[in-house]
Amino acid sequence: MSHTYPKLHNAMWPGLVGKEEGTDHPPISLDRMLELTANAEVNGQKFEGIDYFLFHPHTDPDASDDELKAIADKIAAKGLKVGSLVAPIWPGTVGDSAMGDDEARGKFVLAVEKACRIAKIFNEHGVREYGVIRIDSAAGVADWTADPEANTKKIAETFRQAAQVAKDNGERLAAEGEICWAGMHSWKDMVNLLEAVDMPETVGFQADLAHTYLYLLGYNAPEHALLKEGYSDEEFWAAYKTMTDALRPWTIDFHVAQNDGSVHGTGSHDKTGRHCPADDPNGKLDIVKCAGYWLEGAADRGIKHICWDGCMFPNEMLETQQTWNTILDVMLKVRDAHGWD
């Protein structure tokens, strides 16, 4: 059965993250990513929007109002909306480590400020009507382990400062749990961090099917593993329920993805859960069934769209139109099974 919600979005950052000029995986322009997204079609149905990363070469985080309105016009002209925005919080963009010194943490908050400004312009334009601002701790796990308690406290304080900025701008922040981010590298540490921030109205969780699968395996936190290699189907769903029961109440943004149980990193991006194509024969996830665990009660948590995340797909795969048709097909199945009106 088809539903109106959630709206189906595609991420633009696979054209950027882990891509490097002068290599065999250069960045793919925003125009090209928009074109591939707008051209995807399954039985007359299309993607309804995009989520995207506010950094060069797609977007200058300090672009003028007029430049940002021109980008909004370009997106709208493709029949697409903007949903969630990725704040440029990482060192080397605008931000810096959320558990760094005062200067680093100030940069982190500044990155969220810049994202809120862009969000406001898109909202006023009309191209954006829903979505959150995505963050993470912008710091590595190895540094965090030196003093887990103090470092989680520091990250929580930074998130609270950033959240105040977001709240003042009518935005919410979603922390994307990945095995590569300090204090967010296991399902248990992620819950602990969200509880330490303690601003559930403003700071929540962004669940990604690929990254959270690695949570189950305890890839960077064996002590929090819920599954052992060679697990049975029954063990998988019991573990999945434990994890989603803990994180679903916090979940305010959702990435549909596939994972084959491996990790991957390219360019400057640390190893994290590998994003696989929707029809990957080695994919470990029943995408539609897994999505249901996260999307239960989604409307009550303010979710209005879901996004496919093809982060670090090889360029050849990104440039193939069929990749996006297959992905859209899976997204439609997720909405048919778990959507609402």
Residue pLDDT, tens place only, 184-207: 999 999 999 999 999 999 999 999
Please indicate, yes or no, if residue 217 is contained in any of the structural domains: yes
Amino acid at 258: Q
Listed residue (337, 328, 338) closest to 8, CA to CA: 328
Overall number of domains in the chain = 1
CATH code at 246?
Answer: 3.20.20.150
Listed residue (84, 255, 221, 249) closest to 152, CA to CA: 221
Please indicate, yes or no, if residue 177 is contained in any of the structural domains: yes
Q: Is the pLDDT of residue 265 over 70?
A: no
Pick 269 or 244 by higher pLDDT.
Answer: 244
Please indicate, yes or no, if residue 157 is contained in any of the structural domains: yes
Task: Report pLDDT for 123.
Answer: 98
Percent of the chain with pLDDT over 70: 98
Q: Is the pLDDT of residue 266 over 80?
A: no
Amino acid at 282: N
User: What pLDDT band is residue 218 in, cutting at 50, 70 and 90?
Assistant: very high
Please indicate, yes or no, if residue 249 is contained in any of the structural domains: yes
Rounded to whole angstroms, what are the CA distances from 66 to 73, 160, 171, 198, 280? Answer: 10, 31, 22, 37, 42
Please indicate, yes or no, if residue 170 is contained in any of the structural domains: yes
Cα 207 to Cα 176: distance, rounded to the nearest angstrom: 6
147 CB-near residues (< 8 Å, 6+ apart): none
Cα 330 to Cα 328: distance, rounded to the nearest angstrom: 5
155 CB-near residues (< 8 Å, 6+ apart): 98, 99, 137, 139, 182, 183, 193, 196
* Residue with the two structure tokens 């312009």: 121
Cα 240 to Cα 110: distance, rounded to the nearest angstrom: 36
Q: Please, are residues 10 and 332 in contact by the beta-carbon 8 Å criterion?
A: no
Cα 125 to Cα 1: distance, rounded to the nearest angstrom: 33
> What digits encode the pLDDT tens for the residues 113-140?
999 999 999 999 999 999 999 999 999 9
Q: Please, are residues 177 and 247 in contact by the beta-carbon 8 Å criterion?
A: yes
Q: Is the pTM of this model over 0.85?
A: yes
Please indicate, yes or no, if residue 175 is contained in any of the structural domains: yes
Task: Report pLDDT for 271.
Answer: 77
Please indicate, yes or no, if residue 2 is contained in any of the structural domains: no
Cα 135 to Cα 89: distance, rounded to the nearest angstrom: 7
Q: What is the mean pLDDT of residues 254-271?
A: 83
**Host domain of residue 35:** 7-338
Please indicate, yes or no, if residue 1 is contained in any of the structural domains: no
